[in-house]
Structure 1
Amino acid sequence: MLITTKLYNQLLMMAGALVLAGMFSSCKKYVEADLPKDQLEGSRVFSSATNTLAAVNGLYTFALKNASFITYQGDLLAGFSADEFTFGSTQYDDFTNNTLQAGNADVLATWKLFYSVIYQANGIIEKVPGSPVSDSLKALYTAEAKVFRAFCHLYLTSYFGDVPLIQTTDVTVTATAPRTAKATVLAAVAKDLSAAEVILPYGTVRNGRLNKWMATALLARVYLYQGNWAAAEAKATTMINNNSGIALQTDLSKVFLRGSKEAIWQINSADNNYVYGTSLPGTSLNYQVMIRPGLYNGYETGDLRKTNWMGSATVQSTFFYYPYKYKNASAPASAAAIEDYVLMRLAEQYLIRAEARAQQQNLTGAIDDLNVIRNRAGITPLVVGLSQSDVLLAVEKERRLELFGEGYSHRWIDLNRTNRANAVLGALKPGTWKSTAALWPIPQNEILLNPALTPNP
C-alpha cells in the first residue's frame, strides 16, 4: 500500500504512544492497550528507554490485535479457498469458488495489515539503534521486529506470489516499490529469521514475547517452502530434539489449551478475544463455518483427531460438521480450560521433517516421522517400503488431517507450493476453478496508488 510520510508517522506513533501500565504481566503476556487517538512526533518515540519499549510493545499489540487476519481470519478465508471449509451464507463465495476479484475488501484488508506491520517493524529496526537503551536490548528489539517483518513477508508471498520486499521506511522508495520475485522475498525472510534466531533468548512461555524456538520453527517452515530440504530437516530436528519442554501432547483435547507443551507460539486469548468461537454452531446457518465432506471423510476409522477436533450440529434443519479444535466461544469459568490461539506447534515440525526427508530419499525416516503423528492419532502405522511418490502423498494427507484450520490454511499453501492445486481443486470445483486462482489478486486499490505494481493473471 502507498505509505505517505503522514501515514507512516501515524503507524509508528500509535505504537510509541502506548502506555506501559498493564501491558505485560512479568513481560510474559501480550499487551492490551487501545491505540492512541493523537500522534506524537517521530523523534520522540525512541527518545527514552520507556518510549522505545512502548514502541516495541505496540508492534505486538498492532500485529496481534483482535479479529484480524493474523488472529484467526486467515485460517478461515484461505480455508474457504482450499478444500477445508464452506460458509453458511454467500458472504465468502469469492473465496470458496476461487473467483476473487481485485476489488475484494478482505483481500485488500489482508494486504494492508501485513504491510502495516512490516512498516512498524522497519521503523523499530531503523530507529532502535539510535535509542538510549543497552546494546543487548537494541539487539533484542531488532530481532523481534525482524521476526514480524519476516512473518508478514512470508504470508504475502504465499497468497500473492511476487510482492514488494519492503525493508525501509523511506516513502520515496516504498510508494513506488515494484513486485519482487518470490524467491528473493523468501531469501530475505530466511535471512531475517536467521539473524533473529541468534539473538532471541530461549524461553518456555508460549504466549508472550518472541523467543528462539519461535524463530527456529518458523525457519523450518520457510526452508520447506523454499525447497531447501536439508535446512528444513535440520531446523525441524532442532525443534523435535529441543530440551525446553516442547513435546507432543498425548491427549488431543489439550493441544490448544494455554500452556500446551505442544505449542511453540500462541496468542494470548485476552488479545484474540476467543474469536475462533465464531466457528462454533449458533442459531443461524448463515454464519456457520462448515467442514467439507472430503475433509471429514478423509480420516481413517478410529482417528482420534476426527473425534476430538470436529463437532457436529444441526442448525435450521441442516446437519453439518464444524471445526472444533477451539471449544470456547467466551472465557471459560475454569483457568484450566483457557485456550490460546496457536500459530505454531510441534506436530507441524514432524511433518516438515517427514516431507524434507522424503524429498531427500530418506523414505524410512519420513515414514518414522509420519508414524509419530499417526500413532498419536490412534491409527495404524505406515509400513516401510512405500515409493517416494506414495510417501509424499502420505505427507500431504497427514498435513491436511493434522493441520486443518491452522497456519492461515496450511492446506491452501500446501496445494499451491506442491503444484497440486489444479488436480485437487480442479476436481472439487470444476465449474469455477482456474489455474490462475492459485494466486490471490493484487488489490486494485494498491495498483491505482502504486503504478509500479502489476496485477496477477
Structure 2
Amino acid sequence: MKLTRSIYLILFPLALLILLISCEKMLEVDVPTNELSSDAIFEDVQTANAALAGLYAKMRDNAPLAGDESGALLGIYTDDMDYYANPVTNSSFDLYTNTQIDTNTTVASYWSEAFQVIYIANAIISGCEKSYSLPVTERNRIRGEALLARSIVLFYLQQVFGDIPYPITTDYQVNQVLGKTESGQVLGKLVADISIAVQLLPNEYRSAERIFLNRKAGEFILAKIYMVQQRYSEAEMLLKGVADDPMYMFEQDLTKVFIKSGKHIIWQLKPQNSSATKEAMLYYFGNVAPTLYALSNDLIQAFPSADLRKNNWMATSTFNGNTWYRSAKYKNRQPGNDSEFSIVLRMEEVYLLLSECYVQQGRLNEALPYVNATRQRAGLTSLQQPIAKETLLNEILLENRREFFTEMGHRFIDLKRMDRLGTLISIKPNWKNYHTRWPIPQKEILINANLKPQNNGY
C-alpha cells in the first residue's frame, strides 16, 4: 500500500491511521480487524498503541532513520561509502557524485517520506489531545512518543535541508501554504517540543526490547540538539544523566554491539515479521563485485590495522582480482531473525558526544575516559595528556567515523555539527560549499510558493 507522496496530503488523519494499522503487525499489538471509528482510535489504548505501531513501522521502512537506502544516502553523499548502481541521472547516483539538482527524485522521495511520518505523528498527537476517555498516563505517554518521533524526523530534515516547514497539524489547508521556518528557529522549536515529550514520557520501556521511545531517548535527542546549538553545559547534564542511569551499560564486547538484547541500546527499530534487518540485507554482496554499496577506501584507511572493528564489523569480497569491503555489523540474514534489530540510539554515541562536550568546555581530562572507552574496546591505545584541544576534537570525530559507519547518516551529522563538511572537498571532487544543504524539491515549490527561496546553489 503506497501513500501519495506529498506533505500536502488531502486525507483525514483517521483514514491514514487505519491504513497503517491494517498493514502493520510487527509490534505484536492486537490490531482490530473491523473498521475503526474515530472514537475508538483516540479513546482506546489498544487502538492508540496500534496507531503508534504504524508510526514506528513507517519510520523503519521509509524515513531518514530507515536501515535501507534512506539511511544509506548520507553515507554515499559524504565519504564513507561508494555507490555502484547504474549511473542514472537525477537519482541517488547524483548524490554520490554531489551533482544533485532540485528535480532529483531521490531528494524528493527523502523529503516526502519524512513528511509522511510527521503527518502520521501529528494525527496521533491530535487524537490524544481530543481524547477524554484515555487514562491520563496513557494519553501523555502516547502523545509523548508521537511528539518525540516527529521531532527526530524534523531534526534530520533540518540538518539535511536547513530551513524547512514545521507542520504541527493535519489540516491540509494550513499545510499546503506553510512557509519555511529558519533553521535556527527550527532547532528552538525542537527544543521546546522535545522538552514537553520528556515530561510526558516515562523512564521505563513498555517493552523489554526497547523498541519504543522513552524519556531517556528524549533526553538524548535533546542533548544532540543542544550540541548543535553549542549549549554544551546543558548537553552535558542530559548526557551524564543517560550515561549514569543503571538501566544502561556500555557494551564491552565488540561482538555483541549489534545484538538486540544489549543494555547499551537506548532505542531500536524491530524488523517486520522477524525478518533480517534492512542493513544486513542492503550491505551484503558476497564474493562478487558490489552492485549497490561498498565501504570507501577513505573509510578503510581511517582504521589502524589493530582496530578490532575492522575485522568484526567489516567483511571483504574478492572478484576478478579486486577486493571490496562491505559493512558486516548486522550478520543475521536468515528468516526468523530473533537476534538483531536496527539500533538507532546506543550508549557509544552518548560517550562520544559527552567527550566532545567536555572538550568544547576546555575540560580535556574529563573527556578522555569517554573517547577512550570505544578505543580500548577496539584494541587501540588510549589517548593521553598532554593533547591539544583541536587534536582531541579531531580524534573524537575520527572515532565517531570508525564506530558509526553505515548507521543512518551519522557521518554527515557529525561533520556538520563540528563544521567539517568542507573537508570533503579534498575527497569528493564535485563538493561545493553549498552542499551542506540539499535542494528543496522543485515539485514541492511548484505546489507551494511559500517554500521559496530555493536553497543557495540550486
Segment of structure 1 superposing worse, 132-141 or 189-198: 189-198
- 1:104 maps to what in 2? 104
Aligned-residue offset at 1:380: 0.8
Aligned-residue offset at 1:322: 1.0
Match for residue 294 of structure 1 among 298, 309, 328: 298
TM-score normalized by structure 2?
A: 0.89
- 1:58 maps to what in 2? 54
Pair 1:251-2:259 in alignment: no
Q: Distance in 1 between matches of 2:448 and 2:276?
A: 35
Aligned-residue offset at 1:239: 1.2
Alignment of 1:112-151 (within 5 A): 112-131=112-131, 132-151=133-152
Letter in 2 for 1:196: A
On the 8 A contact 2:12/2:170 being kept in 1, the answer is: no
Letter in 2 for 1:119: Y
Alignment of 1:146-165 (within 5 A): 146-165=147-166
Pair 1:218-2:221 in alignment: yes
Match for residue 80 of structure 2 among 77, 81, 84: 84
On the 8 A contact 1:140/1:199 being kept in 2, the answer is: yes
- Over the matched positions of the two proteins, sequence identity in percent amounts to 29
Q: Deviations over 1:179-238 (max 9, x none)?
A: 111111112222222222222222353443222222122222222122211111111111
Structure 1: segments with no counterpart, 5+ residues: none
On the 8 A contact 1:5/1:171 being kept in 2, the answer is: yes
Q: Distance in 1 between matches of 2:245 and 2:405?
A: 25
On the 8 A contact 2:103/2:442 being kept in 1, the answer is: yes
Segment of structure 1 superposing worse, 155-164 or 376-385: 376-385
On the 8 A contact 1:146/1:193 being kept in 2, the answer is: yes
Pair 1:209-2:208 in alignment: no
Pair 1:228-2:228 in alignment: no
When residues 449 and 317 of structure 1 are mapped into structure 2, their CA distance, relative to the original with a 3 A threshold, is farther
On the 8 A contact 2:166/2:181 being kept in 1, the answer is: yes
On the 8 A contact 2:437/2:455 being kept in 1, the answer is: yes
On the 8 A contact 2:26/2:270 being kept in 1, the answer is: no
- 1:373 maps to what in 2? 374
When residues 51 and 268 of structure 1 are mapped into structure 2, their CA distance, relative to the original with a 3 A threshold, is closer
Q: Distance in 2 between matches of 1:7 and 1:427?
A: 49
- 1:189 maps to what in 2? 190
Q: Deviations over 1:17-43 (max 9, x none)?
A: 5499x6645x6xxx9x89x9x987756
Segment of structure 1 superposing worse, 161-170 or 353-362: 161-170
Q: Distance in 1 between matches of 2:184 and 2:65?
A: 23
- 1:433 maps to what in 2? 431
TM-score normalized by structure 1?
A: 0.89
- 1:5 maps to what in 2? 10
Segment of structure 1 superposing worse, 358-367 or 260-269: 260-269
On the 8 A contact 2:267/2:345 being kept in 1, the answer is: yes
Segment of structure 1 superposing worse, 322-331 or 67-76: 67-76
Segment of structure 1 superposing worse, 368-377 or 195-204: 195-204
- 1:324 maps to what in 2? 328
Pair 1:279-2:290 in alignment: no
- 1:359 maps to what in 2? 360
Q: Distance in 1 between matches of 2:180 and 2:103?
A: 19
Aligned-residue offset at 1:433: 1.2
On the 8 A contact 2:27/2:270 being kept in 1, the answer is: no
On the 8 A contact 1:274/1:330 being kept in 2, the answer is: no
Segment of structure 1 superposing worse, 346-355 or 205-214: 205-214
On the 8 A contact 1:12/1:42 being kept in 2, the answer is: no
Q: Deviations over 1:254-279 (max 9, x none)?
A: 10111122211111133674221220
- 1:268 maps to what in 2? 270
- 2:444 maps to what in 1? 446
Q: Which SS does the other structure have where 1:321 is aligned?
A: strand
Q: Distance in 2 between matches of 1:258 and 1:45?
A: 31
Q: Distance in 1 between matches of 2:9 and 2:282?
A: 36
Letter in 1 for 2:425: G
Aligned-residue offset at 1:106: 1.8
Q: Distance in 2 between matches of 1:117 and 1:251?
A: 35
Segment of structure 1 superposing worse, 70-79 or 319-328: 70-79
Q: Which SS does the other structure have where 1:452 is aligned?
A: helix
Q: Which SS does the other structure have where 1:285 is aligned?
A: coil
Q: Deviations over 1:144-200 (max 9, x none)?
A: 111111011100001101101111222222111111111111122222222222222
Q: Distance in 1 between matches of 2:122 and 2:362?
A: 40
- 1:14 maps to what in 2? 19
